[in-house]
Structure 1
Amino acid sequence: SLEIEQKFSKDEILRMYLNEIPYGSNAYGIESAAQTFFAKPAKELSFDEAALLAVLPRATSFFSPFGSHTDRLKYNQEAVLDKMANLGYISKEEAEKYKAEDVLGKIVVKRENIKAPHFVMYVKEYLDSKYGAEEMEKGGMKIYTTLDWDKQQIAEKAVKEGVEKNQDRWNAGNAALVAIDPKTGQILAMVGSKDYFEKPFPEGCTVGKNCKFEGQVNVAVRDRQPGSSFKPFVYLTAFTKGYFPETIIYDVETDFNKGSEDNYIPQNYDGQFRGPIKMKDALGMSLNVPAVKTLYLAGVNDSIVMAKNLGIIGLNDPERYGLSLVLGGGEVQLLDHTNAYATLANNGKKQTKTAILRIEDKEGSIVEEFKDKKGDQVVKEEYVAMLDSVISDNKNRASVFGENSPLRFDDRQVAAKTGTTNEFRDGWTMGYTPGIAVGVWAGNNDNTPMKEGADGVNVAAPIWRSFLDQVLSNYSKEEFPKYDSEKAMKDIKKDILIGKLDTEKKVEVCEIPGKDDKWCKANKYCPEDEIKERVVAQSHNILWYVDRENPQGERPEKPEKDPQFERWEEGVRNWYKKNKDKKIISDEDLEGDCDEGDFEKYMPKITMTTDKSGNRVKIEVKADAPFGIESVKIYVEGEEVNSSGSSSSSVIYEVPDSKNNSNLKIEAKVIDDNGNEAKVEDNISVSF
């Protein structure tokens, strides 16, 4: 270095440096970089273009304009412009002007003969970070990857065709797909966009800001919210805690933050609430309220640990996510998400994801090589079997997705879960067989909403299904480990954990008139046409029965100490009141046997008039009995003088001489078909 400094000036040394260093994409020196990225000589570069090129030597693969970190590239380019302004090379006004330029939109995209470009860039970034960019550019290494070229071509075609359909129908400009071998962790296919070489869309958009489609951005390694496709990790965590697919939770409107400044009242996709429901049905139907409750039971931190153990990277701020985590409140990458599902496919045994089979140096020596490993058993197979049984059973989701959605397979076992984020910004479909795990994301690069109704099953599932239909024929039909519910729950004492409510079935009840949502057990006082058959259930949420940390242990002595108990309890009470026409009523709303006073308006009534004429008394009776008249009888001095089955009757009673100049007691009685009776009496004096 001393010899160089003695022989050359600092400007000459800098010039030589700039003419020799790598800028990525096989561009060495600033002149080559200017031609490669902007198709112009270096002397014609504008300040915004020159500032961008100045960033590249720091990490040529990471900051490549053709890679997945263009947002970081732009951030650093703007930092260079600010530095130039601070040093006086340009004014601050000029710096702001050049920062506003869409410099990424000026990048010249050359459609080179690169196969699987997003995968290639992903591998190159890994190699540069591990071995150095210069070694990779000049070292003569041979790289053998895990890519399955047949599957890659199928994936690229499925994504491209799917996006073309989604663009018009759902306003979804992009999609990505990843496929992983669960048994090895090898990445078999990676499609980061519909077309790496296609220009950003819509025309005139600013790259990195408002483009719905950016071909060179690898969405497979970008953070996106997963929506409901995160739910299986939460339910799996709950299963490890002692809950079961059959465990009952209440799908009722619930304010999880009641009493605080910010309400949190999640809604289901259809705005409906279904009351008591089993976890397997709630997950299959992708209901949000039961999912939030399951997350509370499983624990936010423990659910995040589970997701990380399965293969998710990130989720490092549990306090920020809170209970919204289960609805996709945290960000994940499609590649990691698929890797986590691959761990599920491998019965809870995690393999490290990899894109490398072997690396040889220029001498042919092996520098790095993939080796089969047993993997880490991060969750017991028995719990994964519970989850498999839920998300591979089409019956569990048919009421929401229909009997014949893209998730249905009749000839083999396939587990699947969709996800949709707020305002339809992301659509996901994740799934697996024992032999392959596949994940698909669909949406827009700039996170703008798709059209309403752009659920994961509509925008991502068709792409996912198209890929699987073409590749599964090469896989044997393996089955998931069997979940034996009878064996798993045989020693469980709490009914709610094994799918039963504390109920008294086939109880005939009547709603009590004038009392809001109150019922009584039907008897003779209740009209026959008012009698309903209902299941009477103990109307308590699951926290009444279980300590969430130890659900199979003793019942909590004071469940109200749990901060969510009263919030959940209120939701349950309100649901029963709003759904009195349902087949289940709360035991708190059943007031025992029906009482005569409760049904006074249904009781029989009778009136009587008398008219005297000499020794004759005309007696007229009118009766009203909503349950029907069994008999109407008239008595004089205790003796029956008339009997009828109609609502009105009359009789002329001749007073015997022996009762002249006396008082007569006249009575009338009606008995209805339920055995209820009413009577009326009168005393008259007779003299003739």
Structure 2
Amino acid sequence: MIDMAEQMGISTFKERDRYGLSLTLGGGETKLLELTGAFNVFAARGVYRQPTPLVEVKDSNGNLIYKWQDTGGIKAMDEGVAFLISDILSDDGARSAVFGLGSLLNIPGHQVAVKTGTTDDKRDNYAIGYTPSIVAGSWVGNNNNEEMNPNVASGITGASPIWNRFMKEFLTGKENEKFEAPKNVKKIEVDELTGLLPQEGFGTRNEWFLQDTEPTARSDWYQRIEVCKIDGRIANDGCKDADETDTNTFIKITAELPEWQSSVDAWVKENYDEDRYFPPQMRSRLEFDGDSVSNKDDVNVEIIELDEGDKVYLHFRLSVEVSAYNDVEVVRIYMDGQKMTDDESAPYGYNFELPASAIGKHEFEAVATDDDGNKGSKKVNLEVVGYAR
């Protein structure tokens, strides 16, 4: 990673043992001119040219003393990779969830790639953007490195307005230059959510890929599950014999590591909050006598994907499933006997955001009540161990 940065003109990563994976998110000091020059590599199809303050020098009589000559630069990265970065950074729709459509990062009538960045404690704020012909970088901060006012130092309110005004002025009256796709990339239709091959019945989008890196399979996030019509849980034999089942497609957004899953589930709940993103893990507890349910007053509760004694992080989701004949009225979540929430809509559970003082062992309980007043509960003892790493 540092080797690549140096090929792109960054000179400040000298003490290599200081840096870890956070360097990918900006965890290293840079100079604005060098960082702007590095972004020019994307604009120039992977070629690095050292920034120069002088293009031409003439004496008082108009005689040419110096003129910058383009030597062709140095190949720093594959032009296909450079194009993919430019395509991503110029996609106004892709960043709309954070910045909104038509934000200050968008220059009407022109394809412009742009990236913002903010360091810890709001000490630095950057906006660097480019077309195939021009790259501009802006920085906002205090010269003494003090923290800035957080209200004026976000990705869109700090350096971005300065960058936007310059780019608008520079591009006024100029033709729109588009980033041209090189021969070693191709655009294919992929699944809108996962970026893998399209899934029948779900949305799609078109994406660029380097040759031989395009997806070749569908995502295993999609799961076809036969469920009991009455309670929505995985169908048991009784549900099947009574012909009370449906087969539905669910989407399980799966974490890269198992220990991250509860944190991923918390994010999914905050951003999607739909049953189909929480495939049932619990098998139906309904009992049938012929075609009729015989245990209509039972309320069965399970705490999902967490077993007795498991370790969880300070920020995690406690997911709950209920198998009941009647509609569930409310699921109450408790920690050490203290009620944390009343959840009245599926998927049930609670996103815990605990302080560091909560590290240790705790008892968690879920109590479900149906609309006839019947109750069921489940307890589990978990160890809170700190923040996710």
Tell me if TM exceeds 0.5.
Answer: yes
Separation in structure 1 between the aligned mates of residue 168 and residue 267 of structure 2, nearest angstrom: 45
Q: Deviations over 1:238-277 (max 9, x none)?
A: xxxxxxxxxxxxxxxxxxxxxxxxxxxxxxxxxxxxxxxx
In 2 relative to 1, CA 539–469 (structure 1 residues): closer, same or farther, beyond 3 Å? closer
1:502 to 214, 220, 227: 220
Paired amino acid for 1:465: N
Q: How big is the shift at 1:358?
A: 4.5
Residue in structure 2 matched with residue 437 of structure 1 by the alignment: 135
Residue of structure 2 equivalent to 1:584: 277
| Partner of residue 417, structure 1 | 115
Alpha-carbon deviation of 1:386? 0.9
Q: What is aligned with 1:520?
A: 234
Give 1:576 shift: 3.6
Within the alignment, does 1:325 sit opposite 2:23 as a pair?
yes
Structure-2 change in CA distance of 1:441 and 1:505 (3 Å):
same
1:317-343 alpha-carbon deviations (Å, 9 max, x no partner):
232121221222101111111111112
Question: Which of 601, 604, 614 is residue 294 of structure 2 equivalent to?
Answer: 604
Aligned match of 2:187: 485
Once the two structures are superposed, residues 228-247 of structure 1 have per-residue CA deviations (whole angstroms, 9 ceiling, x without a partner) of xxxxxxxxxxxxxxxxxxxx
Q: Verify: 1:572 aligned to 2:274, yes or no.
A: no
Which residue number corresponds to residue 378 of structure 1? 76
1:594, CA displacement in angstroms? 4.2
* 1:570–1:474 distance in 2 versus 1, CA, 3 Å: same
Note the alpha carbon deviations across 1:97-121, whole angstroms, 9 max, x for none. Answer: xxxxxxxxxxxxxxxxxxxxxxxxx
Higher fraction of helix: 1
Deviation at residue 405 of structure 1 after TM alignment: 1.0
Q: What pairs with 1:178-189 in structure 2 (closer than 5 Å)?
A: none
CA 1:452–1:439: 2 relative to 1, 3 Å? same
- Map of 1:73-92 to 2, 5 A cutoff? none
SS in 2 for 1:442: strand
The structure carrying a bigger strand percent of its residues is 2
**Closer, same or farther in 2 for the Cα pair 1:493/1:459, shift >3 Å?**
closer
Q: Distance in 1 between matches of 2:260 and 2:285?
A: 30
Letter in 1 for 2:116: T
Larger Cα-atom Rg: 1
Cα RMSD (Å): 4.2
Instruction: Spell out the pairing of 1:111-510 with structure 2 (5 A cutoff).
Output: 303-358=1-56, 368-453=66-151, 454-482=153-181, 484-486=186-188, 488=209, 491=212, 500-505=218-223, 507=225, 509=227
- Number of aligned residue pairs: 270
| Structure 2 CA distance for aligned equivalents of residues 443 and 389 of structure 1 | 29
Shift, 1:347, TM fit: 1.2
SS in structure 2 at match of 1:470: helix
| Aligned AA (1:347) | R
Conserved? CA contact 2:126–2:138, under 8 Å: yes
The alpha-carbon deviation at position 446 of structure 1 amounts to 1.1
For residues 539 and 349 of structure 1, what CA distance do their matches in structure 2 show?
38
Q: Aligned equivalents of 2:50 and 2:258: distance in 1? A: 44
Distance 2:213 2:64 in 1: 55
2:219 partner letter: L
Query: What amino acid is the match of 1:575?
Result: V
Q: CA deviation at 1:366?
A: 7.2
Structure 1 residues 446, 536: CA separation in 2 closer, same or farther (over 3 Å shift)? same
Cα separation, partners in 2 of 1:468 and 1:493, compared to 1, 3 Å: closer
Q: Tell me: CA distance 1:353–1:626, structure 2 relative to 1, closer, same or farther (3 Å).
A: closer
Q: Which amino acid aligns with 1:502?
A: D
Q: Residue by residue, what CA displacement relative to the aligned partner does 1:174-213 show, whole Å, maximum 9, x if unpaired?
A: xxxxxxxxxxxxxxxxxxxxxxxxxxxxxxxxxxxxxxxx
Quick one: distance in 2 between partners of 1:320 and 1:480?
A: 36
Measured at CA, do residues 489 and 595 of structure 1 come closer, stay the same or move farther in structure 2, by a change above 3 Å? farther
When residues 343 and 504 of structure 1 are mapped into structure 2, their CA distance, relative to the original with a 3 A threshold, is closer
Opposite residue 23 of structure 2, the aligned amino acid is: L
* AA partner of residue 109 (structure 2): D
Describe the shift of the 1:590–1:448 C-alpha distance in structure 2 as closer, same or farther (beyond 3 A).
Answer: same
Shift of 1:452: 2.0
Contact 1:523 1:594 in 2 (8 A): no
Normalised to the residue count of structure 1, the TM-score between the two structures is: 0.34
Q: 1:489 to 1:522 in 2, by over 3 A?
A: farther
Per-residue deviation, 1:585: 3.9
What do residues 405-459 of structure 1 show as CA deviations (whole Å, max 9, x unaligned)? 1011331110001011112111110000111000000111111111224213111
Structure 2: distance between partners of 1:578 and 1:391: 24
- Structure 2 letter corresponding to 1:584: Y
For 1:484, what is the secondary structure of its paired residue? strand
Residue 380 of structure 1 and its aligned partner are, at CA, apart by 1.3
Letter in 2 for 1:484: K
In structure 2, the CA distance between the partners of 1:529 and 1:313, relative to structure 1 (3 Å rule), is: farther
The answer to whether the 8 A contact 1:534-1:585 is kept is: no
Question: Greater RCO between the two (CA within 8 Å, min separation 6)?
Answer: 1
Conserved 8 A contact 2:123-2:148: yes
Residue 509 of structure 1: how far off its partner (Å)? 3.6
TM-score by length of 2: 0.58
Q: Give me the whole-angstrom Cα distance separating, in 2, the residues matched to 1:603 and 1:467.
A: 70
Q: 1:597 to 1:456 in 2, by over 3 A?
A: same
